[in-house]
Amino acid sequence: MAEQAHTTATTEVPHGPAAEHHEPTAFGMTPTAWVALAMLAVFAVMIWKRVPAAVARALDSKIAEIRQRLDEAAALRAEAEALRQEYAAKSASAEADAAAMIERAKGEAQAIVAKANEDAEALIERRTRMAEDKIAAEERAAINELRAAAAAAAARAAEKIIAERHDAAADARLVDQAIAGLGKQ
């Protein structure tokens, strides 16, 4: 209950001139003044120990490092751009070479086809000539065979006729005529 009374006493604010509130002080300074003094002391120590210069040096080194990285990145980008241009040029050159190769191959293919056509025509002509020659040879062989057969048949027929019409005396007369004919030559 005493706590309640104390609480009630602190919560009740008297009115009038006795109602002024006094903040506690130490060595004549209020808590706000002590905080301000501590802040000034911290800032003074920071300046005395050259913390701002150290922070500035750290920031300058970071800035230099970042600039170095940016320069490296710019150099890498320039190198990459040069490589890209080089490969683009090589690609264009390769495409031009490929197109030239294709055109050359088409020309060679057309020349090969034309040569093949000429060779085929020459082969056909040569084979036709060979076939015609073979046919002519076969015709000659057939004619010769027919002539030989006709001659053999004629010789057999002549032999038969001679055998029927000639006797030994006629043969002797023919032999004598043949010998006489040889002697005249």
Q: What is the pLDDT of residues 118-137, one digit of tens each?
A: 999 999 999 999 999 999 99
Which pLDDT value is given to residue 104? 93
| Nearest-angstrom CA–CA distance, 81 and 75 | 10
| pLDDT above 80: residue 111 | yes
Do 31 and 23 touch, CB atoms closer than 8 A? yes
Do 29 and 37 touch, CB atoms closer than 8 A? yes
| Nearest-angstrom CA–CA distance, 100 and 103 | 5
Residue 28: DSSP 8-state: T
For residues 11 and 26, which has the higher predicted lDDT (pLDDT)?
26
* pLDDT category of residue 5 using cuts at 50, 70 and 90: very low
